[in-house]
Amino acid sequence: MLESTGSPLAWGIFTLIILFLLALDLGVFHRKAHRVGMREALYWSIFWVALSLCFNGYIWHSLGQDKALEFLNAYIIEKALSVDNIFVFIVIFRYMKVAADHLHRVLYAGILGALLLRALFIFTGLTIVQTFEWTLYIFGAFLLYTGLRLLFIGEEDDDTTQDNWVKKQSERWLRVTDKFEGPKFFVRQNGQLFATSLFVTLLMIETADVVFALDSIPAIFGISTDPYIVFTSNVCAIMGLRAMFFLLENVIEKFSYLNYGLGLILAFVGAKMVLELGLGSVMAPIHVKPEWSLAVVGTLLVGSMVLSLVFPPKATPEQEAAATTTNGEPPTDEPTKLDKPGPTQTD
């Protein structure tokens, strides 16, 4: 039986608030398809972060300082790891040539799916952990491996290939239109129901989120195994993911050292998980205070972003050649925007 610090009333109120905010978001503020600009994305990002911090204050008041620090630590880690999601989302949207007006709808539906899948992963994982505590060693070792791999090997540039596989499987098993049909995921043609290319894009987004959940959820287990803390921190971070995408889509490539920061964060959480479990008679458990963990995670995250801006890597000859325009104009540092491709896709 999962032991949660949240009462049934607290769980119910939190769930109702999230459902209300989702309905308000789509039904009132984003009823019409439109291109989300930088200013709107900034306002929404501030709103979601402020709301999460207010909830963190509620946890501090009702459950105490340690639980509040666990929530904040888990929230920051999930937010940081979500940046990798944004990298892949940008690749998918450019690959599928999704119109900028429809990005919000895909991300909104993707977040709904992510909330359901994350809930399933979290409660399944916590049930396994609380039944077989030794599985935490596996999670810790996996996080250490993932973190060190990011540091010394980097990420394989195969996202487009994986997404292309999802696209091919979708077209194999579903009736898919050869173009976008506005913001619709399904259309009826000649009496038959067809999935649109926008729905295929959604499947690719959900697949990418499942892959990244394999890193982020074990990382949260390294901070807390309280279902209430793990679930609420994950949901609060995911709710702001859409706004963060539109805020960072044109500047995210400037954070070239961020993956190193994320690698260090994952390695730290994995090591922390093992240290707090101990190694039997070889090593006694070592408790890492929540405030120390929060300081380390925050320093690594902010430090990697600052270093990226202060010491940007030099462009390779290939990048310089790609930046040179064919009409003789000087190269520009302005990033490629998602609204340049047309709204239709041809195979």
| Cα dihedral value 189, 194, 197, 201, nearest 10 | 160
- pTM value is 0.78
- Mean pLDDT confidence for 146-163: 65
Tens-place pLDDT, residues 129-141: 878 878 888 888 8
State the number of CA atoms in the 13 A half-sphere of 203 facing the CB.
21
- Higher-pLDDT residue of 341 and 135 is 135
pLDDT value of position 31 = 63
Least confident of 23-27, 65-69, 109-113, 289-293: 23-27
pLDDT value of position 74 = 92
pLDDT over threshold 70, residue 253: yes
Least confident of 41-50, 62-71, 127-136: 127-136
pLDDT value of position 346 = 40
pLDDT over threshold 90, residue 55: yes
Q: Pull the structure tokens for residue 259.
A: 């993956």
| 194, 187 contact by CB (below 8 A) | yes
Tens-place pLDDT, residues 201-244: 888 888 888 877 877 888 888 888 899 999 999 999 988 888 88
